[in-house]
Structure 1
Amino acid sequence: MKKIECVILDWAGTAVDYGCFAPVSAFIESFKTLGLEVTAAETRAHMGLTKIEEIRALFKIERVSKAFYEKYGREYNESDVQACYTEFQRLLFSTLRSYSGPISKVVETIDALRAKGIKIGSTTGYTKEMMDIVIPAAAEQGYHVDNHVTSDGLPAGRPYPYMIYKNMCDLNVPFRTSVLKYGDTISDIKEGINAGVWTVGVVLGSNELGLTEEEVNNMPADELKKRMMDVRYRMYAAGAHYVVDSIEELPALIEAINTRMNNE
């Protein structure tokens, strides 16, 4: 019988850090140290990449590169990128532990999947050094995975599929059709599609929605529905096989995928 044997989750915005706020604030503040402004929307548009690659992407924004030239009288270079990344890391490390709390129902759902024999892996845009803070902090609050992979030592991070392949090797999962990638960014979706695995996006708590839990609870229903539909559209446009509102839908969806695979 064909079935999902492994679920690979992203971390920030998917499993922990509702709304994916830790990196957003660090990106904004690190550019401010250079006298440059990037918006929350601009940082979220590239979320899911490795953090150094996101900084490169932010520098490439025409408005940002033009502002740099006007301020410094020259084009930015890799030294400027690295200086910004150093400041980003300093800012992120100072707050990362505070943003490692599991999103509602993640612990219970993952425990239920594990009880069914499903292996739990993970990928991330964070480095190993960053995850050395997040992993134990999340574990203290009940969330842990069977395997965690960063892009350190791999050819590239997202949207390339190498972190998913490494999870499959580490967890002894030989067939891509038995793997489901679950994440909250467009980069997550592309990572899963490029790996050839089942790919599921999540809306609530996601970087793409970009709202705190309080904002979600207090927003007028029509406005929230519109914003959620916009996220859903972007994820499906990026290639997602399915998009769910929250992780609570995942067990039933996995059963539906299992049925679909065995009826094809």
Structure 2
Amino acid sequence: MTQNFNALNTLMSDKVEAVIFDWAGTLVDFSSLAPTQIFVDAFATFGIQISLEQARGPMGLSKRDHIRTLLATESIQNQWLAQFDRASTDADIDAIYERFMPMQIEKVAEYSAPIEGAAAVLEELRAKGIKIGSCSGYPRQVLDVLLPAAASQGIAPDCIIAGDELPAGGRPGPFMALANVLALGVGDVRRCIKVDDTVPGIEEGRRAGMWTVGLSLSGNEVGLSLEELAQTDPAEVQARVERASERLRQSGAHYVIETVADFPAVVQAIQARLAQGETP
């Protein structure tokens, strides 16, 4: 009996059971344009000017926490003090969030184009019997607009967890990743892979006990649209990719690749390591 159990355990332990993807910058919306530009626009309605680079800083957090983090930035808080003659409060975070939400809902479908190779990767994972989960810093109201547009183009994970629907909170905590584990019926988090383009998303996967894969080129860290990418000096692009890769590795990514199109080779590599008895 013990020998049979050990043989079964070995057989199961060398197979990736589930992959949990982020959305913007990972599966759709190359360079994660939708949320960043809307943060800039929402703050501007309060007379506060922030750059796209500043807006990208806390990417990966839930959108309310993202706003809270931006307001805590010294240069932005100084603008708030000059504009309103007082420090910002939780009520101000709520006010910016309420301004942000309808703007994001209105625009998110415009940024639903799949990243090249994403639909094919999901199809390949399904063909191998690997479950597909996902989670996002987007609130559920925003995902409800994004998901049908993405599904029509082949991006339809088995599970979707929004950034505002778990009482325990979002990233960098492990909660959304673990909610996927429960919903998908995954038996071992060590046979799960979390794929994300942000530091909080990688930290989420590590805290959940999973393998983690960072995406450098397509995501928030490089921050260049496809059009900008084509117009930028290749040496500058490479420098940005290297900086992004280093940040993702420092946050704990086991692997860093440029886009999701490169992901199948990573699955194969992780399965080989699982077969050797390695864990995340």
User: TM tier, shorter chain?
Assistant: over 0.9
Question: What's the offset of the Cα at 1:116?
Answer: 0.5
Question: Which AA in structure 2 matches 1:153?
Answer: L
Structure 2 residue runs without a partner (length 5+): 1-10
Counterpart residue number, 2:272: 259
Q: Aligned match of 1:32 in 40, 44, 48?
A: 44
Counterpart residue number, 1:200: 213
Counterpart residue number, 1:209: 222
Can you list the C-alpha shifts for 1:216-253, whole angstroms capped at 9, x where unaligned?
23322222111111100000011111001122221111
Deviates more, 1:68-77 or 1:127-136: 68-77
Q: Aligned match of 1:15 in 11, 27, 44?
A: 27
Matched, 1:139 2:163: no
Can you list the C-alpha shifts for 1:88-134, whole angstroms capped at 9, x where unaligned?
11211111111111111100111011111010000100111111111
SS in 2 for 1:7: strand
SS in 2 for 1:182: strand
Question: Which AA in structure 2 matches 1:110?
Answer: L
Matched, 1:249 2:247: no
Q: Is the 8 A contact 1:23 1:92 kept in 2?
A: yes
- Inter-partner Cα distance in structure 2 for 1:72 and 1:248: 47
Counterpart residue number, 1:44: 56
Runs of 4+ off more than 4 Å: none
Inter-CA distance 153–246: structure 2 relative to 1 (3 Å threshold): closer
Question: What's the offset of the Cα at 1:153?
Answer: 3.1
What number of residue pairs does the alignment pair up? 264
Counterpart residue number, 2:189: 176
The TM-score normalised by the length of structure 2 is 0.92
Q: Aligned match of 1:225 in 212, 227, 238?
A: 238
Counterpart residue number, 1:65: 77
- Inter-partner Cα distance in structure 1 for 2:38 and 2:238: 29
- Inter-partner Cα distance in structure 1 for 2:22 and 2:112: 13
SS in 1 for 2:221: coil
- Inter-partner Cα distance in structure 1 for 2:84 and 2:269: 56
Q: Is the 8 A contact 2:24 2:32 kept in 1?
A: yes
Question: What's the offset of the Cα at 1:81?
Answer: 1.1
- Inter-partner Cα distance in structure 2 for 1:77 and 1:171: 39
Q: Is the 8 A contact 1:154 1:162 kept in 2?
A: no
SS in 1 for 2:156: coil
- Inter-partner Cα distance in structure 2 for 1:74 and 1:221: 45
% identity of equivalent residues: 36
SS in 1 for 2:173: coil
Question: What's the offset of the Cα at 1:173?
Answer: 0.3
The TM-score normalised by the length of structure 1 is 0.97
SS in 1 for 2:172: coil
Q: Which has the larger radius of gyration?
A: 2
Question: What's the offset of the Cα at 1:74?
Answer: 1.3
Structure 1 residue runs without a partner (length 5+): none
Q: Aligned match of 1:86 in 90, 98, 106?
A: 98
Inter-CA distance 160–35: structure 2 relative to 1 (3 Å threshold): same
